[in-house]
Chain A
Amino acid sequence: MEKIIMAKTGNESMAEAMRQINPDVVAAYPITPATEVVQIFSSFVADGLVDTELVLAESEHSALSACVGAAAAGGRVMTSTASQGLALMHEVLFIAAGLRLPIVICEVNRSLSGPINIHCDHSDTMASRDSGWIQIYSENSQEAYDNTIQAMKIAEKAFLPAIVSVDAFIISHSMERLEVLPDNEVQKFIGEHKKPYDLLDVDNPITLGGLDLQDFFFEHKRGEIEAMKEAKPIIIEVGKEYGEKFGTTYGFFEEYMMEDADFAIIALGSTAGTTKVVVDSLRKKGMKVGLFKIRVFRPFPFEEIKKALEHIKVIAVLDRVDGMSSFGSPVFHEIRSCLYESETKPVITNYIYGLGGRDIFPKEIEGVYKELEEIAEKGKVKNLINYLGVRE
């Protein structure tokens, strides 16, 4: 099978994946830096390259609501948004998940106001992390493309909605080499659209969105929680199949030089790429460092992560979001919580960095590894929670 090599930005890559998926309905509202995704997609619609019904809604709340309606009616549905847009979708996120609708959002990680800012951090998707959506973070354009295609299949197997995200501007607007699969291969891979039920099946009428009080709400939520757990083997299976067919296997996380590492950094998104460069250079100097990149944050693969990290001496979790007085930030919480169950209990520190698009440099990442080494030598942590790259 011949892959086509193109030069594409993160946004263009996700739009390309959407074209190849050819969803029945896309309902959207523009927002920087995700505007391009649907803007490009709308030209596919205008050029007749897709069969999609494009609904240009008056807000993100309406856009996702239209997606819910379309998916409930049995359509294959996608949208795209970022930051404030995802925040405006917030209440509908829970509805889509509660109704078990396999909608896919191509999301661009941008900081939430205020103060107003259009650049990268993970505050938007992290604020929606418990909404019942599968969350897949992408390091680069290629992953954004691959993840979007896989997300559609995962969502329709798990009957859960999924968010695929890329870092604002750093990836969304950076031109990279992209390997694009042939259209028919993408269609074959995602397969025929599967729906949890069909609101338009008049022979088997159903009601959706009924008032669900003390006597049934908890049971419905319990079922949804189980679906999140059941999505785990589906994600692995789809990632493996993708590898078998197209060459790159995907899992919950990527381990870079982790096997014999003493010190590890955990990161999501584009910072993982920067960290790999640092790992390479420190390895040359003989430091046993590794990178642990989380791809799937929801469902959170705690058993697998615990197993993968147990042998590390000191870990730094890089969070591109702050928990606002919580004990460390979201990724740190999860990692520390699942390693509490381990026999070895590695030392884990938290570095909050890059808020509002503040760049993170290899030098700073190198500094983190050096601090981890120092902790191991002194046997003592200076600060459990650190802020990287902020002026005092």
Chain B
Amino acid sequence: MKKGWKELPIGTQITKPGSSEEFKTGDWRTEKPVIDFDNCIHCLICWVYCPDSSVNVSDGKVTGIDYDFCKGCGICAEECPKDAISMHSEAEGE
């Protein structure tokens, strides 16, 4: 449960540093990128282009999408040289 008006600190202060990380903006997304790892060559082009730093990488390899923050802009899918990323409508619940 989010805080009610009586519990909030005066004057819209945010008292916890770095709290924007807790503000999950992924629900703004209408389309969701899905990586086909059979075709991915881990060139990291999607990671470079993602404007929201939402492509997860570990040990130099793409491991997936951070859906908590991905806005579904589709840039990764557009830029992938192997067409390994496809966009799926959130409305269809895919």
Contact check, A208 vs B12: say whether CB atoms are below 8 A apart.
yes
Contact check, A159 vs B14: say whether CB atoms are below 8 A apart.
no
Interface members, chain B 2-45 (any A CB < 8 Å)? 2-6, 8-15, 17, 19-20
Question: What's the minimum C-beta distance from A136 to chain B, rounded to whole angstroms?
Answer: 22
Question: What's the minimum C-beta distance from A13 to chain B, rounded to whole angstroms?
Answer: 31
Interface centre among B3, B6, B9, B10 (most CB of A within 10 A): B10
> Given A219-B4, A219-B5, A226-B5: A210 and B14 within 8 A (CB)?
yes
Q: Which residue of B lies closest to A226 (CB)?
A: B5
Q: Which residues of A contact B8 (CB under 8 A)?
A: 216, 219-220, 223
Q: Which residue of B lies closest to A99 (CB)?
A: B11
A-B pairs with the 9 shortest C-beta distances?
A: A100-B11, A207-B14, A222-B5, A219-B5, A206-B13, A99-B11, A223-B5, A196-B10, A220-B12
Asked if A48 lies at the interface with its beta carbon under 8 angstroms from chain B, I say: no
Q: Which residues of B contact A197 (CB under 8 A)?
A: 9-11, 13
- 22 intermolecular pairs with C-beta atoms under 8 Å apart: A98-B11, A98-B12, A99-B11, A159-B10, A159-B11, A197-B11, A207-B13, A207-B19, A208-B11, A208-B13, A208-B14, A210-B12, A210-B14, A210-B20, A216-B8, A218-B5, A219-B4, A219-B5, A219-B8, A220-B5, A220-B8, A222-B5
Q: Which residues of A contact B5 (CB under 8 A)?
A: 218-220, 222-223, 226
Total A-B residue pairs with C-beta atoms closer than 8 Å?
Answer: 50
Question: What's the minimum C-beta distance from B66 to chain A, rounded to whole angstroms?
Answer: 20
A226-B6 Cα distance, complex, nearest whole Å = 9
Q: Which residue of A lies closest to B11 (CB)?
A: A100
Interface members, chain A 216-232 (any B CB < 8 Å)? 216, 218-220, 222-223, 226
Q: Which residues of A contact B13 (CB under 8 A)?
A: 197, 206-208
A120-B60 Cα distance, complex, nearest whole Å = 71
Chain B, interface residues (CB within 8 Å), range: 10 to 19
Asked if A215 lies at the interface with its beta carbon under 8 angstroms from chain B, I say: yes
Q: Which residue of B lies closest to A159 (CB)?
A: B10
A99-B14 Cα distance, complex, nearest whole Å = 11
Q: Which residues of B contact A204 (CB under 8 A)?
A: 15
Name A residues whose Cβ lies closer than 8 Å to a Cβ of B.
98-101, 159, 196-197, 204-210, 212, 215-216, 218-220, 222-223, 226
A196-B6 Cα distance, complex, nearest whole Å = 16
**Looking at the complex, which one of A207, A212, A215, A220 makes contact with B17 (CB distance below 8 Å)?**
A207
Q: Which residues of B contact A205 (CB under 8 A)?
A: 17
Question: What's the minimum C-beta distance from A119 to chain B, rounded to whole angstroms?
Answer: 37
Q: Which residues of B contact A220 (CB under 8 A)?
A: 5, 8, 12
Q: Which residues of B contact A101 (CB under 8 A)?
A: 11
A196-B12 Cα distance, complex, nearest whole Å = 11
Contact check, B3 vs A219: say whether CB atoms are below 8 A apart.
yes
Q: Which residues of B contact A212 (CB under 8 A)?
A: 12
A216-B14 Cα distance, complex, nearest whole Å = 12
Interface centre among B3, B5, B9, B20 (most CB of A within 10 A): B5
Contact check, B3 vs A223: say whether CB atoms are below 8 A apart.
no
A207-B2 Cα distance, complex, nearest whole Å = 19
Q: Which residue of A lies closest to B4 (CB)?
A: A219
A219-B3 Cα distance, complex, nearest whole Å = 8
A100-B12 Cα distance, complex, nearest whole Å = 8
Interface centre among B8, B13, B17 (most CB of A within 10 A): B13
